[in-house]
Structure 1
Amino acid sequence: MTDVLIVGYGPVGQVAAILLAQRGFTVQVVEKWATPYSMPRAVSYDGEASRILAACDLGDTLDPVCELSGEYTWKNGFGRTLLHVKVAEDGPTGWPDSISFYQPGLEAALAARGAALPGVRVLRGVEVTDLADHGDHVEVAAVDADGTPRTFTADWVLGCDGANSFVRRWLGATITDLGFGYDWLVCDVVLNEPVEFKPNNLQICDPARPRTAVSAGPDHRRWEFMRVPGETLEEFQTEASVWRLLGLFDITPATARLDRYGVYTTQACYADTWRSGRVFLAGDAAHVMPPFLGQGMSSGFRDVINLAWKLDLVRRGLADATLLDTYEVERKAHVQHAIRMSIDSGKVICETDPKQAAGRDSVMLAALRRRTQAKHARSLREAIVDGVLHRRPDGTPAPRAGDPVPQGRVAAGGRTGRFDDVVGGGFVLITRADPAAALDDAATAFLDALDVRRVTVRPADADAPAMPADAAGTDVVDLDGVYLTYLAGADADAVLVRPDFYVFGVAAGPTGLAALVDDLRQQVSARVPQP
C-alpha cells in the first residue's frame, strides 16, 4: 500500500513525486518506458516554474543545464523587428522570468532528487492497464515489459502520463479541443563550435515560412519550421528538408550535428474532467497548448504543487476531502488562460497569408514605435479566480486573493537570500507587526496545526534579527522592500500565502487578520487541536 501512485515519470510526474515525498508521502511511480527519453521536448520554463523547482530543493543546482533566456525578438519576413522582449533576470518570483534548458539534463536532476528521497519508489518498463477506485483506495493493474502482471494499491492515483494519457481515458474525460493545429518541424542541433546568437531567441513571422531559432539550454540550439500550404508532410519531414531549412540560418552539416528532428502538430485542448474520486490528472494528461509561450511544462508544475498541499492537508486529517474539489476549479481556469494566450501568440506567428501578414506587421510596428521595448509577458502570471481564496461577505473573492505572491530577498539570523530559502515553504503569514495579539488561542492552534510560518517584515534599514530555529514566528529584514511595498499597495497589514505561492488573502488591522485566519479554517474544514 502506498499513499500516492503516479502514472508517468516525465518532469511533471517527477516534480509531483518530490513535492509529495518531501511532505512525508510514500510515492510509487509506474512508468511504461524502460529508460528516460533522451531527446529534449520543452526548452523553456517561467519564473513560477523556477520557484517550484527550488521548492524541490534544486534551484541553483540546475545551472549546468539551464541558462537565462535573454532577449526574444520577433521579426517579419523582411527582417523588421515587430516585438522585442528583454527577459528580466530577477523577476517578481525572485527568479528570471524565463529560463532556457536542456530537458534530458533537467529530468536527470529531478530523477536524482527523487532517488534521494526515501519515500519515492520508481518502476520503469511497467505499463498501467486498469484502475479500480474502491472509495477508500485504488487498485492499479499493470504489466511488465515481458507481460508479467502486477498489482498496486494506493490511497490516490495521479495521472502524469502525457497527452495520450491512459488515466484520462480511464476517467472517461471528454476533451475540449480549440482546434489550433499546425505542423512544425523541430530540429535540435549541437554546434561544432560555440556561437553567440543575437538575439538568443528569434521568431521570424514570415508568411512564406514561419520559423524559430531558440536556445535549448547550454550548448544546445533548436530551430523550428512551420509546414506551409502546398507542402506535403512526406517531403517536409526528411533529413534533406531539415538541412535545406537550417541553411536559412547558415547551419550546415559542416558546422553542426543534428541531435534529432521530427514533426509535431500544435494542439490546444484540455480535459473537461480532472478528477474522479481518488484519481487525478495533471500536466499534459489534463491540458496541451501551443508551445509559443513556453507554458506547457510550467502549467504542469503549477498543477502538482496545487494538488500536493491539498492532499497533504487531507492525509493529515486537517481538511475534509472536499478540499480536493478545488484542484480542478483553480487549475482549469488558469490553464484555459494560458492556452488562450498561447493561441493568440500562435495566430501572429503562424500567419501564411501575405495580405494578413502585412496588416499584422503594420499594427505591431506601430505598437513598437509607441513602446520601443516590451517587458516579458507578465500577464502570464495569472491570478487564481476561484477556489481556496479569502472571501467578501457576499462570497466573491476579496481583493488580492489569488494573486501570485512576489518574492524578494530577506535577511535573518545571519542568512541573506531569497525569502523561500531563508524562511521556508508551506503556508506563510507575513505581517508588518507581531500577529500574536490579534489571534486567539483557537486561531493560534489552527496555524500551528497547519505549520503556518509567521513572519514579521522589517524595513531594510533595520538590523538583521536573529532567527531561533524552533520559533513558530520570526522577524526578517525586507532587503528589497518587496513585502512592505506589496502590503502598502494592498492597504494591508498582513498577507497569508498558500504553499503554492498564491495569496489566500490580505487583511488590515487585528480584526481583519482574525477574520482572514478564520476564513481559511472554515474553507479547509480543519479539524485541529483546541486549546
Structure 2
Amino acid sequence: MNENHTDNGTGSATVTAPGCVQAAADDIGDDAYDVLVIGAGPVGLTTAIQLGARGWRVGLVERWPHPYPLPRAVVFDHEVARILASLGLADALPTFSEPAADYEWRNGTGETLLRLAFENTGHSGWPAMNIFTQPQLEGALEAQARRTSGVEVLRGWEATDLAEDASGVSLTVAESAGDEPVLRSGVRRRRTLRAQYVVGCDGANSFVRSRMTTTMADRGFQHDWLVLDVLPHDPDRVFTPRNLQVCDPLRPTTAVSGGPGRRRWEFMLLPGESSAEFGSAENAWRLLAAWDLHPGNATLERHTVYTFRARWAENWREGRLLLAGDAAHQMPPFAGQGMCSGIRDAANLTWKLDLVLHGDAGETLLDTYTTERSQHLRHAIELSVFLGGIICEPDPTVAALRDARMLADRKDGRDPLADMPPQRLTGGLLRQAADGTPKAPAGQLGCQGRVRFRGRTGLFDQAVGTGFALLATEDPRAALDDEALGWCERLGIRLLRVTGDPAANGPADVVDLDGTYSSHLERCGQGALLLRPDHYIFGGALRTEQVSGLVAALRQELTVSAAVSQAG
C-alpha cells in the first residue's frame, strides 16, 4: 500500500519561500522547556502530545506558518491507529480514515499476481490497514497538541542554530521567511529557546541531523514516480479492486484510495523521461485518461514527482539531540510504512525520555531507542525495497520471469512474503535470557481487545489507560512485597488481573470481553506479561508467583542505565 515521502520539515511537498529576508540582530527573549521538538508533521505532533501528556513542557517549533494543505501519506496500520487513538483521537479517526479492504497486484496483462485481504479488526484492536487523508489527521493532531497542557506550538519559527552543553541545548529560531509580514518587513526576529533535549522531526533535510556526526546508510534504491491526488466528482463511483498495483514493465502504476472521497495514482518514470515534462498537469490528465478520468469528472488536487529512496541514519541519538521520522530514515512507499515508522519512533522515544527526565533511568536508556527502532526500521525498509523490486521492474524479460514465479506461488498457495523476518524487537530494553538475547515472548507486540474495567467498557487503552501494564491470570499484587509495589506505583505500572468472569468487578479486574487477552497469554505460554508503554512485551512469567522476578528484571535494567550514566 503506497504512501508519500517528502523532504521538508513537515513531510509536505517541498516549498521554497520566496524572497530573501535579512536576519535582525536583536533577540526577543529566552524561553525554557523540558523538550524542544522541531517539525510539526505527524511525528513531531505525536512526540509533543505524548510528552505533554506526561507532564513535560514542550516547545513544538515549525518553520511554516500554516499547515500544508495537500495529502502526502495515505496509509497507517493497526499499531499506529492504536497510538493515534491513545493520543485522544479514538473518536476522530473514523472521520478521516477508512479500512483498506484489499490490495491486489496485477501484471501488464491483467493477471492477478498477489492479493492481500486486510482484517477489519487487527492485532491492535483497529483495522489492519487504514487509508486516510493527511491534512485532516494533522489538523486533528495539532488541535490535540494545542489542548494538551504544557505543549506550546511555535509556528512560523525556523531553527537556525543550536549549542549543546552539559545541562541542555540552546536553540536559536528566527521568524520564518515564508511568513508574508516578515517578507514585507525584511526583518526576521530571533528567539533563543532552551531545553534539556531536542528531538528533530524535521524531515529528510533535517536541521538537527545536520548538527550531528551520524552518517547515512543507503540501500541504493532510487526511482522517480509521478504522484497524483484526484478528487472524483462522483462520490458513488466504485474502483475495483479498491487498491491496485500494476506491475507492468511498460509503466509500473499504483491506483489506490487516498482517503474518503479521494484517489491516488502513481506512475513510474522510465529511463530517459524528463521529470519536468512528465510531472506536468497535461501529462497527468493524459495518464489518467486510461482510467476514464478527465477535468469534466474529476479534480486534480496535486501532481508532483518524488524520488523514492531507502536510507537511514546510523545513530538516532547524539548527546541531547535525537532524530525521529524522515529525519532518521526514508523508504520507498510500497509497504506504507514511512509515516508509520515515524510514529513508532515517537511511541518508543517518549516514554524513555519521560523516565530519564523524571530520574527513574539514566540517559543511556536513550541508546536503546536507536537499537530498537533501527531493527524495526530495517525490517520496514527491506520489505519496502523487496516490494519495490517487484513493482519497479522495467525489463520485460525479467518481468515475465517474475510473473511466472508469482503466478506459480499463488496457484500453490505460497506466500511471497513468508521469508521476510518477523517484525519484533531483538535487542534493547527487554528481559534477557542467559545468552543475552530477549527471552520469549519479550520483543513481541502486545495485542489489544475490548475489556470492561471499573465500569468502563471499550478497547483496553480507552477503558484502562496507557503506560506500563502487568497483566496476569491472577492478581499480581499478591506476588509483590511492599517495596516492589511502591516502585511499581512510582513508575505508573498498572497491576491487573485478566479474567473472563463477566461478574468480576475488583479494582484490579480487567474483564476480557472477547477472549483477546486469554488467547494472547495462551499463545505466549505465559501466566503474566509486562507490557511497555509502546505496547511491546518487556517479558513474561510462566506463573503469577514469578511476577516478582519479572518486575525485578525491569527495575534492574533501569537501575543499570542510571548507574552507567552517572559513571559516564
* Aligned-partner Cα distance in 2 for 1:381–1:297: 20
Alignment partners' CA distance in 2, 1:119 and 1:464:
40
Compared with structure 1, are the counterparts of its residues 334 and 56 closer, same or farther at alpha carbon in structure 2 (3 Å cutoff)?
same
Deviation at residue 381 of structure 1 after TM alignment: 6.7
Measure, in 2, the Cα distance between the counterparts of 1:403 and 1:13.
25
Structure 1 gap ranges (5+): 469-473
Q: 1-side partners of 2:557 and 2:376: how far apart?
A: 20
Residue 224 (structure 1) aligns with = 266
Contact 2:250–2:394 (Cα < 8 Å) also in 1: yes
Contact 1:87-1:375 within 8 A present in 2 as well:
no
Q: How does 1:397-412 map to 2 (within 5 A)?
A: 397-412=438-453
Counterpart-to-counterpart distance in 1, 2:88 and 2:419: 25
Q: TM-score under structure 1 normalisation?
A: 0.95
Aligned twin of 2:542: 508
Cα RMSD over matched residues? 1.8
CA contact (8 A) 1:411 1:464 kept: no
The residue aligned with 2:511 is 477
* Cα distance in 1, alignment partners of residues 437 and 426 from structure 2: 10
CA deviation profile, 1:445-487 (whole Å, cap 9, x unmatched): 221111111111112xx2243254xxxxx11221222211222
Paired residue for 2:479?
Answer: 438
For structure 1, which segment, 83-92 or 511-520, has the greater mean C-alpha deviation from structure 2 after superposition? 511-520
* Counterpart contact for 1:404–1:503, Cα < 8 Å: yes
Amino acid in structure 2 at the alignment position of 1:514: S
Query: Where do 1:342-357 residues align within 5 Å?
Result: 342-357=384-399
1:92 aligns with 2:126: no
> What one-letter code is carried by the residue in structure 2 that aligns with 1:288?
Q
Indicate the residue corresponding to 2:49 in structure 1.
18
**Is 1:141 aligned with 2:172?**
yes
Q: C-alpha separation between the residues in 1 aligned to 2:520 and 2:416?
A: 20
Superposed, 1:12-411 pairs within 5 Å as 12-145=43-176, 146-194=187-235, 195-371=237-413, 382-411=423-452
Contact 1:85 1:375 in 2 (8 A): no
For 1:422-454, what per-residue CA distance to the aligned partner results, in whole angstroms no more than 9, with x for missing partners?
111100000000112321222212211111111
In structure 1, the partner of 2:179 is none
Summarize deviations over 1:41-96 as a string: whole Å, max 9, x none: 10101111101001101023122211111111111000111111111100111111
Identify the residue that residue 466 of structure 1 maps to in structure 2.
Answer: 505
2:532 to 498, 506, 525: 498
> How much has 1:509 moved relative to structure 2?
2.4
> How far 1:325 sits from its partner (Å)?
1.3
Deviation at 1:173, TM superposition (A): 2.1
The offset of 1:21, in angstroms, is 0.6
CA distance in 2 between counterparts of 1:293 and 1:262 reads 20
Runs of 4+ off more than 6 Å: 374-381
Equivalent residue of 2:188, what SS?
A: coil
Q: Output the amino acid matched with 1:414.
A: G
Q: Deviation per CA, 1:212-250: give whole Å up to 9, x if none.
A: 111111011111100012322232112111111111211
Q: Is the 8 Å Cα contact of residues 532 and 538 (structure 2) preserved in structure 1? A: yes
Task: Tell me, in whole angstroms, the C-alpha distance in 2 between the residues paired with 1:378 and 1:117.
Answer: 43
1:471 corresponds in structure 2 to none
Secondary structure in 1 matching 2:217? strand
Counterparts of 1:380 and 1:298 in 2: how far apart (Å)?
18
Residues 1:521 and 2:555 aligned together: yes
Q: Secondary structure at the match of 2:222?
A: coil
- What code does the residue aligned with 1:244 have? R
- TM-score normalised per structure 2: 0.89
Distance 2:422 2:79 in 1: 8
Mapped partners of 2:136, 2:524: distance in 1 = 41
Q: What is the aligned partner in structure 1 of residue 16 from structure 2?
A: none
Secondary structure class of the residue paired with 1:318? coil
Instruction: Tell me how far apart the structure 1 counterparts of residues 189 and 167 of structure 2 sit (CA, whole Å).
Output: 27
Separation in structure 1 between the aligned mates of residue 218 and residue 133 of structure 2, nearest angstrom = 29
CA contact (8 A) 1:2 1:154 kept: yes
Instruction: Report the alpha carbon displacement of residue 30 of structure 1 after superposing the two structures with TM.
Output: 1.0
Matched length: 519
Matches of 2:400 and 2:195, distance apart in 1: 57
Could you tell me whether the CA contact under 8 Å between 1:17 and 1:27 is conserved in 2? yes
Whether the 8 Å contact between 1:135 and 1:278 is mirrored in structure 2 is no
C-alpha distance in 2 between matches for 1:435 and 1:15: 32
CA offsets per residue over residues 382-423 of structure 1, 9 Å max, x none? 111100001113322101101001111112333322111111
CA separation in 2, counterparts of 1:411 and 1:381?
31
The whole-number CA distance in structure 1 between the counterparts of 2:115 and 2:518 is 32
Q: Is the 8 A contact 2:473 2:544 kept in 1?
A: no
**Aligned-partner Cα distance in 2 for 1:493–1:504:** 14
Bigger CA drift: 38-47 or 363-372? 363-372
Structure 2, gaps ≥5 residues long:
1-31, 177-186, 563-568
Give the Cα separation in 2 of the matches to 1:379 and 1:108.
Answer: 35
Q: Deviation string for 1:129-187 (max 9, x for gaps)?
A: 11111121110011113421211001110000001101101113211011111010001
Seen in structure 2, the aligned counterparts of structure 1 residues 126 and 493 have a Cα distance that, compared at 3 Å, is same
Aligned partners of 1:44, 1:125: CA distance in 2, in Å?
Answer: 28
Secondary structure of the residue aligned to 2:196 is strand
**Counterpart position of 1:416:** 457
TM-aligned CA distance change 1:523 to 1:5, over 3 Å:
same
2:556 match: secondary structure: helix
| Distance in structure 2 (CA, Å) of the matches to 1:188 and 1:467 | 52
